[in-house]
């Protein structure tokens, strides 16, 4: 059997790493090998956003790189489809496996279906209900087309049922990101915080602050267009950081390229970089982020993956969004996050509440580190010539 897996952007890499490993393990113990090809669309392309993750997570170099790079959504999706169709015609896989909700997920699932190749979506059924998010469009289209929908939690199963997806296409496998977290927790824990900071300071930024202690700092990531593309919104968030958060705490912020570009364009970079409690970092590696998350007293983020990691690590999290496709990570479902959007009054209020919160790790059902194995089993079971796992 031939499987072709696709990755495109940073949040895909930690989802594919454990899947690649279970395929390798499976092949060592069987004569009926799975022929596996890894395709990188090249949406994220620089060392810090892409290559470093392959190296640190032990993902083999992609067999094929489509090198689509930056562009508008239509450019990224269109170029990926054109290039991926050629790959499919040559490779003729039985399955295309897509993960998450980035442009590569959408482009490659559409292309595969159009040439008659079966699609398996890992992380199916997540819904924010917010059609202004490019990721929501990617999720809806991918799930509508997929032959096998592997869900991370039970709420996702309900979402798919409500959309009329036939029961036999849905399999509850758990959260594959947590496989990666469990496999890398020990290594992350051994890293030194000060070394991480010194190694990753942004270019043109020097920081002479005191050593940062575990439990004393806030950690932030922010890259969604709804938070960083409007000057007014971004400025009000930066004001909260400068006037409120950083009057009391040190903030560690690995800055996404989209955010760095806009902070500079809107004239907000200097206000941040000159503040004595703000530490601006380049995008950091997987282990470094996990280590910083383990020691943070709180997280501020608009990333979906970090909401999930905060849930399992128990880091109190202010989610800088009005909705989430991952409700299982919210306080009301036992998780560690509170939705605060980008309204500064609300952020201020929830920030005061969260300051007194203790770290309370939670583990939703099947977030047990064995999801990749269940993904491969499901694909094998759903193939024309079922093979024992």
User: What are the catalytic residues?
Assistant: 223
Rounded to whole angstroms, the Cα distance separating 69 from 4 reads: 20
- Residue 23 or 57 with smaller CB distance to ligand UD1: 57
Binding mask 239-278 for ligand UD1 (x = CB under 6 A): -----------------xxx--------------------
- Distance in Å, CB of 20 to ligand UD1, minimum: 20
Q: Applying CB under 6 A, which of residues 25, 46, 247, 353 lies at the interface with ligand UD1?
A: 46
Using rule CB under 6 A, residue 205 touches ligand UD1 = no
Sole window of 95-103, 234-242, 344-352, 372-380 interacting with ligand UD1 (rule: CB under 6 A): 95-103
Total residues belonging to the chain: 389
Distance CA 103, CA 75 (A): 10
Of residues 100 through 139, those in contact with ligand UD1 by CB under 6 A are: 101-103, 134-135
Q: Strands, DSSP E only, in 136-246? A: 148-151, 170-172, 217-221
Taking CB under 6 A as the rule, which mask of x and - marks residues 323-362 in contact with ligand UD1?
----------------------------------------
Q: Coil, helix or strand for 49?
A: helix
Decide: is 314 part of the binding site for ligand UD1 (CB under 6 A).
no
- Do the beta carbons of residue 255 and residue 228 sit within 8 Å? no
Burial class (CB in 10 A: 0-12, 13-18, 19+), 264: exposed
Whether the CB-CB separation of 230 and 263 falls below 8 Å is answered with: no
Alpha carbon distances (Å) from 215 to 259, 280, 292: 26, 19, 10
Q: Would you say 185 or 258 has its CB closer to ligand UD1?
A: 258
Candidate list 9, 96, 280, 296; residue touching ligand UD1; CB under 6 A: 9
Does the footprint of ligand UD1 cover residue 223 (CB under 6 A)? yes
The answer to whether 171 touches 149, Cβ cutoff 8 Å, is: yes
Contact pick of 30, 55, 60, 70 for ligand UD1 (by CB under 6 A)? 70
Q: In what order do the strands lie in the sheet with 337-339?
A: 278-281, 250-254, 217-221, 298-301, 317-319, 337-339
Among residues 3, 4, 11, 200, the one that binds ligand UD1 under rule CB under 6 A: 11
Q: Which residues of the shown chain bind ligand UD1 in the complex (CB under 6 A)?
A: 9-11, 43-46, 49-50, 70, 101-103, 134-135, 223, 256-258
């Amino acid at each position: 059997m031939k499987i072709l897996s696709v990755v495109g952007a940073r949040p895909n890499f930690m989802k594919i790493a454990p899947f690649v490993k279970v395929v390798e393990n499976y092949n060592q113990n069987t004569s009926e090998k799975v022929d596996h090809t890894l395709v990188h669309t090249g949406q994220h392309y620089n060392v810090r956003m892409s290559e470093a993750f392959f190296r640190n997570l032990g993902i083999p170099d992609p067999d094929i790189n489509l090198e689509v790079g930056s562009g508008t959504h239509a450019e990224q999706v269109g170029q990926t489809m054109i290039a991926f169709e050629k790959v499919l015609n040559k490779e003729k896989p039985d399955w295309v496996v897509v993960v998450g909700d980035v442009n590569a997920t959408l482009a490659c699932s559409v292309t595969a279906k159009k040439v008659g190749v079966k699609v398996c979506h890992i992380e199916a059924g997540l819904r924010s209900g917010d059609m202004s998010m490019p990721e929501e469009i990617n999720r809806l289209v991918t799930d509508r087309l997929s032959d096998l929908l592997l869900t991370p939690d039970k709420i996702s199963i309900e979402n798919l049922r409500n959309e009329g997806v036939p029961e036999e296409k849905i399999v509850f496998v758990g959260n594959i990101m947590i496989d990666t977290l469990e496999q890398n927790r020990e290594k992350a824990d051994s890293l030194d915080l000060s070394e991480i900071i010194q190694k990753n300071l942004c270019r043109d930024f020097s920081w002479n602050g005191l050593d940062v202690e575990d439990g004393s700092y806030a950690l932030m990531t922010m890259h969604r267009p709804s938070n960083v593309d409007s000057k007014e919104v971004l400025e009000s968030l930066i004001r909260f950081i400068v006037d409120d958060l950083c009057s009391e705490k040190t903030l560690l912020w690995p800055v996404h390229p989209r955010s760095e570009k806009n902070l500079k364009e809107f004239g907000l970079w200097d206000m941040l970089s000159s503040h004595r409690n703000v530490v601006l970092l380049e995008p950091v590696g997987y282990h470094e982020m996990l280590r910083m998350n383990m020691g943070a007293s709180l997280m501020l983020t608009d990333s979906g993956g970090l909401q999930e990691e905060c849930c399992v690590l128990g880091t109190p999290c202010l989610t800088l969004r009005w909705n989430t496709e991952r409700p299982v990570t919210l306080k009301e479902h036992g998780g560690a996050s509170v939705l605060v959007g980008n309204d500064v009054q609300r952020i201020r209020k929830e920030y005061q509440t969260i300051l007194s919160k203790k770290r309370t790790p939670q583990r939703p059902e099947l977030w047990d580190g064995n999801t990749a194995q269940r993904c491969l089993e499901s694909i094998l079971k759903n193939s024309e010539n079922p093979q024992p796992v």
